[in-house]
Chain A
Amino acid sequence: MTSALNPKYSFDTFVVGSANRLAVTAGHTVAESPGAAYNPLFVYSGSGLGKTHLLMAIGHAAKKVAPLLNIEYLTLDEYVEAFHASLAAGQGDMFRRRFQNVDVLLVDDVQFLTNRKEMQSELLRLTEALQVAGHQIVLTSDRPPPEIADLDERLISRLSGGLVVDIGLPDYETRVAILRRKAEERGARFAPGVLETVAQAEAGNVRELMGALNRLVAFQAVNDTSINAETARQILGLASAAPAPGDGGAKAAAAGGGRGAGDEFGDFLADVTVTVGKAVEAWRARVGEAVLRWEGEGYRTQRLEALLEKDAPASVDKAIVAFTKDVERLKELEAEVAELDPQAAGQSVFRDPERMSEAEEAAAKVRDGAAPPPGPSAAFPLDAYAVGPSNQVAVSAARAVLEKPGKKYNPLVLVGKSGLGKTHLLNAIGLELARGRRAVVACLSTQAFIDELISAIDGNRVDWWRARYRRATALLLDDIHLIAGKERTQEELFNLFNLLQDKERQLVFTAPAPPNTLRGLEERIVTRLEGGLVAELKEPDREVKRAVLERLLSQQNVTSEPALVDYLADRPADSVRALVGVVQRVVAAAAAQDGPLNAGLAREVLEGQTSRDARRSSGFRTSGLVVSSLGGIKSREKMVWEWADVSDRVIEEFR
């Protein structure tokens, strides 16, 4: 049942090198004193490196030391076969007894224990029994015990419990030694360098080395000539080294030339094919790279993916460039839309280059829908603003602001009583600022600002509302005191204020009194307003009054005679608006009488020559505007000062 030990496989024929020295030493020890030193001895190595040889050598050596020893060598398959046979014969116990009486048990190829549960437990039992009895067991495998698939844990620890040793690939010197010994065994003689050449070849194991040697032996026997190293190379199909000097080299070269003509070209062609293949396929890598990049940034990449499915699309790079361009355009659109309406920017259409036209449309829609914030009224040009000592400070501050918007006085707060021209100056600043390129000037009354916010909250468009103001290059709010008590507006204004100020965008406010005296404003707003320049507008002085009167009269197509202007300017007036009322009255009176407007008429009208008029006027006097049967303003509602819109008011005043 078991194999006999092959007499050729002894320690004498075993070439020892650094790769197998440990295993051989352990083998010798085991053979000399079985069961005493390493029990079990487990040897593993790749195929063809001498496991079987070593195993048999141990058997021979042990036999030599103690001829009476019962030595059993078998492969695992034989062991399994014997076991099955004895079971079939109903002699399982006999089988066990037989192996328990073996003094040195040598088992080859135990890696085949994989998936053989009953054999594993049988071997475990046997190993234990042999160890207890002090009998030697030596096993070989192509891998260490823990790496044998499906091996019982107990068996692993049992097999690893003795000595586990491996046999490596023989080094060059060992290979030469092996070849020399084998050549000697075969009675073959080779020219110097031939065996060395064979040894230089990368052999995976000793068996391959033997195969190579056998071919050379056969070649030499058939041709009856001694071969040299180069010829050996040719025979073995090894790559030629640099030609050796002298004859050998020339011969080798000739041999090289002698190869089939197609060979070298074929090799070359194969080589080029591989390289070209790689080069041509490089486009895939580039497309893949682009897909990864844009997908990572959240863009859809179907177009590029479609390219990958083709075999060899033309102009791949152009396609990638075009795709990149589209994505860049989408980014632009998205950024633009985000400024106008952050909610709209989230649309998926801005992430899909296949829907460029839709994206353009969506952006256009947002662009159309995004009305710029209300701008300054054109009715208040700066050059129509009368300047005098009373408002000199405010006007020069305004001019400084126009010179360096956002840099010098930011914010600028214009303070003064009603009717002194704060609104005019505010709008005038706005108009001048709006002249700048790409300027977006938000200029409106605080009340309108509040109303817009309320309707934005109502329409769930606060983001849109915010974005609208955030892109303003200047924010001018009239009557800032109206935010008193409006917490949400103050919150929004606070944020907007900070944002615009950070970007050095001009802020201008008007208030009836210095900010720190205003009630209902949060401290953080007050301190910010105070942080810029607070410029006060005082009651108009004579100079201002003259300028205003002249302008008003000329607007009424009245030739202003100096006496009239002097008279009117000398009259007390606490605001510019009062002057407007005065002019209205005299102009209306003149129109009613269909006579010329002069100082006399004005005195007559204003100082109450007619008792009826005087009584009337005193009864309805509000701010100098008088409802008169002589013409002019007839609607009493128009006397309310909080008119809806600045420009409307101006039209009324000029009527």
Chain B
Amino acid sequence: MSLVNFTTREITCKIVYYGPGRSGKTTNLHYIYGRVPDSRRGRMVSLATQTDRTLFFDFLPIDLGQISGFSTRFQLYTVPGQVYYNATRRLVLQGADGVVFVADSQARQLDENLESLQNLQSNLLEHGVDVRTIPLVLQYNKQDLPRELILSPADLDDALNFRGVPSFSADALHGQGVFETLKAISELVLKKLAAGTAA
């Protein structure tokens, strides 16, 4: 569980990238991995099948060093998107401080997105977490695909973002929107943590 720990002076945030299969969660992590200096990142753990599908989960620890006297760590996880790995998803979701929902912008994937979003909600509920209270941002990935294949961010907002959380259009393969998304979720999580310690 992450927290702002005033005694050990540590901040640890667990952020989970959630979304339907092949929406680009691992791609997000790979891009981030590529941009983080060697000294700051831990070994990225990726358990993938031969066809590059995430089998278990990806894990990327990032050490942000001392910030305001706190050693700050981010742990980025992805879940396997495929429907039948729900137990793993639930496990990875445990103790998450924030969730990035990576949606596939392709029009034909809309149902998968909706299904995954519902799955996220029910899995959070299993951990006693209300989807309305956990920091959440949406990422509309694959916006680089030809316009006729994808839905616009506005359409996706209409379809998926009924809670009005921050949303970002992205092209994770080329890094477009990846760090914007990470920044947004980090900010939400850190603000929540600060509020949590105040209570």
**Do A and B share a complex?**
yes
Given contacts A276-B68, A315-B6, contact A250 B35 (CB under 8 A): no
A267 vs B35: C-alpha distance in the bound complex, in angstroms?
Answer: 11
* A residues near B144, Cβ cutoff 8 Å: 243, 249-250, 253
In the complex the two chains form, is A282's CB within 8 Å of B198's CB?
yes
* B residues near A316, Cβ cutoff 8 Å: 6
Name B140's closest neighbour in chain A (CB-CB).
A242
Q: A566 within 8 Å of B by Cβ?
A: no
* Stretch of A96-104, A258-266, A348-356, A397-405 with 4 or more beta carbons under 8 angstroms from chain B: A258-266
In the complex the two chains form, is A276's CB within 8 Å of B11's CB?
yes
Q: Which of B153-188 contact A (CB under 8 A)?
A: 153, 169, 171, 173-176, 178-179, 182-183, 186-187
In the complex the two chains form, is A279's CB within 8 Å of B4's CB?
yes
In the complex the two chains form, is A281's CB within 8 Å of B68's CB?
yes
8 Å CB contact of B190 from A254, A257, A272: A272
Rounded to whole Å, the gap between the CB of A134 and the closest CB of chain B is 62
A549 vs B173: C-alpha distance in the bound complex, in angstroms?
Answer: 113
Q: B46 within 8 Å of A by Cβ?
A: no
Given contacts A245-B146, A261-B34, A269-B64, contact A311 B176 (CB under 8 A): no
Q: A21 within 8 Å of B by Cβ?
A: no
In the complex the two chains form, is A275's CB within 8 Å of B187's CB?
yes
In the complex the two chains form, is B64's CB within 8 Å of A264's CB?
no
The total of chain B residues at the interface (CB under 8 A) is 40
Given contacts A246-B146, A286-B198, contact A268 B176 (CB under 8 A): no
Rounded to whole Å, the gap between the CB of B62 and the closest CB of chain A is 9
* B residues near A253, Cβ cutoff 8 Å: 144, 171, 173-176
Given contacts A264-B35, A312-B9, contact A279 B194 (CB under 8 A): yes
* A residues near B87, Cβ cutoff 8 Å: none
Q: Which of A267, A282, A316 has the most CB of B within 10 A?
A: A282
Name A318's closest neighbour in chain B (CB-CB).
B6
Given contacts A265-B36, A267-B179, A272-B190, contact A243 B70 (CB under 8 A): no
Number of chain A interface residues as a range: 35 or more
Rounded to whole Å, the gap between the CB of A299 and the closest CB of chain B is 22
In the complex the two chains form, is A280's CB within 8 Å of B36's CB?
no
In the complex the two chains form, is B35's CB within 8 Å of A261's CB?
yes
In the complex the two chains form, is A265's CB within 8 Å of B4's CB?
no
* B residues near A317, Cβ cutoff 8 Å: 197-198
* B residues near A257, Cβ cutoff 8 Å: 174-175
A268 vs B37: C-alpha distance in the bound complex, in angstroms?
Answer: 12
A128 vs B16: C-alpha distance in the bound complex, in angstroms?
Answer: 76
A273 vs B4: C-alpha distance in the bound complex, in angstroms?
Answer: 14
In the complex the two chains form, is A242's CB within 8 Å of B6's CB?
no
Given contacts A272-B72, A279-B194, contact A265 B35 (CB under 8 A): yes
* B residues near A264, Cβ cutoff 8 Å: 35, 175, 178-179
Q: A492 within 8 Å of B by Cβ?
A: no
Q: B128 within 8 Å of A by Cβ?
A: no
In the complex the two chains form, is A242's CB within 8 Å of B143's CB?
yes
In the complex the two chains form, is A256's CB within 8 Å of B174's CB?
yes
Rounded to whole Å, the gap between the CB of A311 and the closest CB of chain B is 7
A638 vs B191: C-alpha distance in the bound complex, in angstroms?
Answer: 86
Rounded to whole Å, the gap between the CB of A310 and the closest CB of chain B is 11
In the complex the two chains form, is A277's CB within 8 Å of B198's CB?
no
A240 vs B11: C-alpha distance in the bound complex, in angstroms?
Answer: 31
In the complex the two chains form, is A240's CB within 8 Å of B176's CB?
yes
Q: B110 within 8 Å of A by Cβ?
A: no
A245 vs B69: C-alpha distance in the bound complex, in angstroms?
Answer: 45
Q: B133 within 8 Å of A by Cβ?
A: no
In the complex the two chains form, is B67's CB within 8 Å of A254's CB?
no
Name A261's closest neighbour in chain B (CB-CB).
B35
11 contacts between A and B (CB under 8 A): A242-B169, A253-B173, A256-B175, A265-B40, A267-B179, A275-B191, A278-B191, A283-B198, A311-B69, A312-B6, A315-B6
Q: Which 7 A-B pairs have the closest CB atoms?
A: A279-B194, A253-B174, A280-B68, A275-B190, A276-B67, A264-B179, A245-B147
14 extra interface residue pairs, beta carbon distance < 8 Å, beyond A280-B69, A280-B70: A240-B176, A243-B143, A253-B175, A253-B176, A256-B175, A261-B34, A265-B35, A265-B179, A273-B68, A276-B70, A279-B11, A282-B197, A282-B198, A312-B9
